Structure 1
Amino acid sequence: MNSDRRSLLGAGLAVSLLGGARLAAQTPPPSASGAPPPGLPQPNETIDLWPEGAPGLPARLPVEQVEERSSDPLIADRAVRGVVVPRLSVFRPDRPNGAAVLLIPGGGYRHVVVDKEGYEMARWLSARGFTAFVLFYRLPYDGWAAGPDVCLSDAQRAMRLIRHRHADFALDPERVAAMGFSAGGHLCADLSTRFAHRTYDPVDDADQLGARPICAAPIYPVIAMQTSHAHAGSRERLLGPSPTGALEDAHSPHRNVPRDAPPFFILHAEDDDVVSVDNSLLLRAALKAREVPVETHLFRHGGHGFGLRKASGKPVAAWPDLWREWARGTGLT
């Protein structure tokens, strides 16, 4: 039995176990060759974002591909590209605290890094009572009609759908946070500054709900799209090779902060050699100028993409607990 067949069977089992709770594992979680690492919780179910399929289909549909980048059978590091069915993978806690976190993995807008910046943090959160939703979002270079807004469309829809389904997960619909990493940090910040920007036509009752998170946590985020500060790969894959200044500004969260933006928690390592710490500093300055509450943690060492696994043994390893204590003050918990 191949790995895709195992995934489909696992998804079907999740549906049968959940029964009448109106939850269905739809598109199964990604599967590279081989079984997932033993002993690690896997998603309870998945939720497709768009009931009739994602809007604005490209002329040539991409093919979803999963690359396992880890050579260690005990550590998964999957990268997914060509997402055609945007979806949420759900990690339920044993004892829900009524709060949810939308997790947005990074990947430079080239792919979605689902383990290191998705599932690992989801396990940490669910062990502490949070219901975690890992977002598989479409990628802008695949030719979707929404262009650079396609990722934001999926993030907005995800926030609304979590709120719409709050009773299924024992959630307070107002207590839904967003957290993103690297390019996912850009999408987190974009969602948290342009939550009211219309990027798609409503498809059902969920779209009557707000997309503003109660709080936002961009972690070592890409922010600026101007060449002086931008992560070149993210910029080109999001905006194309020669974007106008207006397009750069439209997709630079620090240029779009409204006064009703949610509180922000920003984290970056000063020795990050992939995404300059200046990105976080620009965002912080813009939030302060708009009098939006912001807490910023800069660590001397950490590099880029540390998530949980690469932070171990360093001072930056304290960051999840710092976020959790900060989040208490926002009303999330």
Structure 2
Amino acid sequence: MDFDRRTLIAGSFAAAALAPAAIDSAAAQTPPPTTDRAQPPGLPQPSETIDLWPKGPPARLEATLVETVSERSTDTLVTDRAVHGVTRPRMVVFRPDRPNGAAVMVTPGGGYQRIVIDKEGYEIARWLTARGFTAFVLFYRLPGEGWSSGPETALADAQRAMRLIRHRARDFAIDPERVAAMGFSAGGHLCADLGGRFAAPVYSAMDAADKLSAKPFCAAPIYPVVSMDPGIAHAGSRTLLLGPSPSAALEAAHSPDRTVPAGAPPHFLVHAEDDDVVPVENTVRLRAALKARGIPVETHLFANGGHGFGLRRAIGKPVEAWPDLWRAWVQTIGFG
């Protein structure tokens, strides 16, 4: 990685020394999003959360929001929850029994209209922890819900989350440098946006955690929304992120394929060519932009899989291999 490892670790230690005054990690945190329905037996459910902004997000709301969780599954053994109206953005923590020293921040999708809890959040978090990774599932604010920060709303949450993970690395037995990002669909857009604009000044520093880098060790946008070009953009995500009539400059600023810096982290890309929701051209363009900058990129395009396959909808198809391909790849770059 191109940021100075000594600076990062020294900053982490300095932040930890200031932690009692800056961030009270023992303070009561907002519970995970949930419903009243009983959860399937035998599946680990998170109980540990980290609020991103103890004094509230650095933005104003146009109108009052109420956090709402909906259950979309009728199968009592399979949950498919989604949340919207998040006003207290937070991470839900999944700890492995035997930490391998690496962490992954997961940004679920939902078209920037909602955030999927189970399919692209908790399920992949459980898969990661079973393999030694500490997983942090991020419930970010949605840019179309009236925040004054507009299209920078979710990125501010993602940057802050990465910095908090590093700030609290000792609490989770992780190396503060080895923190990756993984995102799905619109959460893949957020993951790719963080991979390119990790240093963009989208909020004002407020405490010791903000002295740390928000750059992921590596980024894995999975079937991601990337381009805001109307020809291939996911229309709903584009409208909720940028509004109904964005300028060409605004489209470019929020298309990760057009904002790749020379120092971007390595990327792992996965997409199904029969995706009828987010065209595969989104991933193809991001790959081309990364290659043009000389950024290491591993790309897997599958003939079949559709959109939103995650783990459960990939079973029995060649695309089912993608998590193991990711795990093999991260070992080659010194992360796994």
Give the TM-score taking structure 2 as reference length. Answer: 0.92
The equivalent residue for 1:93 is: 96
Q: Does 1:210 align with 2:213?
A: yes
The equivalent residue for 2:187 is: 184
Q: Does 1:242 align with 2:245?
A: yes
Deviates more, 1:236-245 or 1:44-53: 44-53
The equivalent residue for 1:289 is: 292
Deviates more, 1:104-113 or 1:27-36: 27-36
CA distance in 2, matches of 1:203, 1:214: 23
The equivalent residue for 2:86 is: 83
Q: Among residues 121, 137, 148, which one is paired with 1:145 in the alignment?
A: 148
Deviates more, 1:236-245 or 1:26-35: 26-35
Q: Among residues 277, 290, 301, which one is paired with 1:298 in the alignment?
A: 301
State how 1:40-119 maps to structure 2 within 5 Å. Answer: 40-119=43-122
Q: How many residue pairs align between the two structures?
A: 313
State how 1:115-194 maps to structure 2 within 5 Å. Answer: 115-194=118-197
Letter in 2 for 1:293: P
CA distance in 2, matches of 1:35, 1:52: 32
Q: Deviations over 1:90-120 (max 9, x none)?
A: 0000000000000000000000001000000
Per the TM alignment, residue 82 of structure 1 is displaced from its structure 2 partner at its CA by 0.4
Q: Is the 8 A contact 2:49 2:90 kept in 1?
A: yes
Per the TM alignment, residue 38 of structure 1 is displaced from its structure 2 partner at its CA by 1.3
Letter in 1 for 2:211: Q
Letter in 1 for 2:255: S
Q: Is the 8 A contact 2:67 2:85 kept in 1?
A: yes
Per the TM alignment, residue 143 of structure 1 is displaced from its structure 2 partner at its CA by 1.2
Q: Is the 8 A contact 1:27 1:87 kept in 2?
A: yes
Q: Is the 8 A contact 2:191 2:220 kept in 1?
A: yes
Per the TM alignment, residue 24 of structure 1 is displaced from its structure 2 partner at its CA by 5.5
Letter in 1 for 2:46: P
The equivalent residue for 1:280 is: 283
- SS of the aligned residue for 1:184 comes to helix
* 4+ aligned runs moved over 4 Å, structure 1: 21-25
Per the TM alignment, residue 25 of structure 1 is displaced from its structure 2 partner at its CA by 5.8
The equivalent residue for 2:324 is: 321
Letter in 2 for 1:318: A
Give the TM-score taking structure 1 as reference length. Answer: 0.92
Per the TM alignment, residue 30 of structure 1 is displaced from its structure 2 partner at its CA by 1.3
Letter in 1 for 2:281: D
Q: Does 1:221 align with 2:224?
A: yes
Q: 1:86 to 1:236 in 2, by over 3 A?
A: same
CA distance in 2, matches of 1:64, 1:36: 20
Q: Deviations over 1:261-318 (max 9, x none)?
A: 0000000000000000000000000000000000100000000000000000111000
Letter in 2 for 1:191: L
Taking only the aligned residue pairs, the percentage that are identical comes to 68
RMSD between aligned residues:
1.1
Per the TM alignment, residue 33 of structure 1 is displaced from its structure 2 partner at its CA by 2.8
Letter in 1 for 2:222: I
CA distance in 1, matches of 2:52, 2:199: 18
Deviates more, 1:39-48 or 1:173-182: 39-48
Q: Deviations over 1:38-69 (max 9, x none)?
A: 11001140010011111112132211000000
Q: Is the 8 A contact 1:192 1:213 kept in 2?
A: yes
- SS of the aligned residue for 2:306 comes to coil
Per the TM alignment, residue 23 of structure 1 is displaced from its structure 2 partner at its CA by 4.6
CA distance in 1, matches of 2:25, 2:230: 47
CA distance in 2, matches of 1:232, 1:275: 9
